[in-house]
Amino acid sequence: MHVPDGFIDAPVSVAAGVAAVGAVAVSLRGARRELDERTAPLAGLVAAFIFAVQMLNFPVAAGTSGHLLGGALAAILVGPYTGVLCMSVVLLMQGVLFADGGLTALGVNITVMGVVTVLVAYGLFRGLLKVLPRNRASVTVASFTAALVSVPAAAAAFTGMYAVGGTTDVPVGKVLTAMVGVHVLIGIGEALITAATVGAVIAVRPDLVFGARGLAAPLKLRVNGELVDAPAAAAAPAAAATAGSARGVWAAGLVTALVLAGFVSFYASANPDGLEKVAADKGIDAKVKADEEKPEGEREYEHASANSPLADYGVKDVDNERLSGGLAGAIGVGATVAVGTGVFWVVRSRRSATTAAPSASSTTPSAAG
């Protein structure tokens, strides 16, 4: 659902950009409360995993394909604020390095694919957990449902922006029906991927799943026939083993992302995705297509990263299509995990500095007396 340049006019694109900047700013502050020694490394990996899985378009119907959006998955795994940041990192890397999604439409894409999906999915996810039994199966069911609903919600959000700032004269009712209809089908794929991923992580390390916090019981010891909380010394070996398993989850996740982007992506569906198909069928892209007929240098909507060495998910001057796409995917995963991890460690360190400052001031001896 990456919106290209030219679908939404400049005023609405600017307004969406302002909204996206505001959402990112709020998320940077909120993520300080979510990121800890468990989620900080995982957050960069989640961004890279979403980047990789977004390369895997799956067939839907009538010559249309879909791909993971990822907002629900990110919010459930690492928290809603961190989830918005994950999606923002992915969309920025895709736009700048791969010319996927317009740069003038970056605010639109972050708002639609990042903010809306995260808010809708996480709100529904938390609501479902309040009425479902508190167990791992409920987390998986809630993840499936939240992801399913988040995709047509994002389609409706795009339609709302198009109603205000669309550059072509297409009836909004037709756009809404087509967008929501096809994205309900895409949402099923999103739900399956999200539930499978959350289920896999929760089966190994439920404490790494932000949305499942509280499901893992603290270490207990039986003393005089009664169960009591284990002291810190007794829990230390378990903590060391937990840290080791976290590194294993991170390594397995990175390898999986590299395999998906570097190899499996070659077998992805070549059909247009939901937005591309609706745009072609309903004429939303008419102005963009007319612009493409102009000579180079006169095109209003030519992507600023069109000449990137990784544009269109291929490495420039590598003739072998499989090798070119695989290298581009692997580079994208590496770049996304590096940038994402760097951002999240900075946010995490700012949290540590903020919490340490009051502690230091409270223990400083007073000069009075």
Phi-psi region of 235 (alpha: psi -120 to 50; beta: other; left: phi over 0): alpha
Q: How close are the terminal C-alpha atoms of the chain, in Å? A: 66
Distance CA 275, CA 281 (A): 10
Question: What does DSSP say about strands 58-61 and 64-66: parallel, antiparallel, or unpaired?
Answer: antiparallel
- Check if the beta carbon of residue 56 is closer than 8 Å to that of residue 260: yes
The single residue listed with the structure tokens 């439409």 is 105
Q: Answer yes or no: is pLDDT of 235 > 50.
A: no
Which pLDDT band, with edges at 50, 70 and 90, does 232 fall under?
very low
In terms of Cβ atoms closer than 10 Å to its own Cβ (0-12, 13-18, 19+), residue 264 is middle
Q: Where are the domains of the chain?
A: 10-215+268-287+305-356
The domain 10-215+268-287+305-356 is classified under which CATH number: 1.10.3370.10, 1.10.1760.20, 1.10.510.10, 3.10.290.10? Answer: 1.10.1760.20
Q: Which of 89-98, 270-279, 346-355 has the lowest mean pLDDT?
A: 346-355
Residue 268 in tokens: 């992805």
Q: pLDDT tier at 241 (50, 70, 90 boundaries)? A: very low
The mean pLDDT value for 342-354 works out to: 80
pLDDT band, residue 225 (cuts 50/70/90): low
Positive/negative CA dihedral, 364, 366, 367, 369: negative
Model confidence, pTM: 0.88
pLDDT, tens digit, 9 for 90 and up, residues 293-314: 888 777 888 898 999 999 999 9
DSSP conformational letter for 223: E
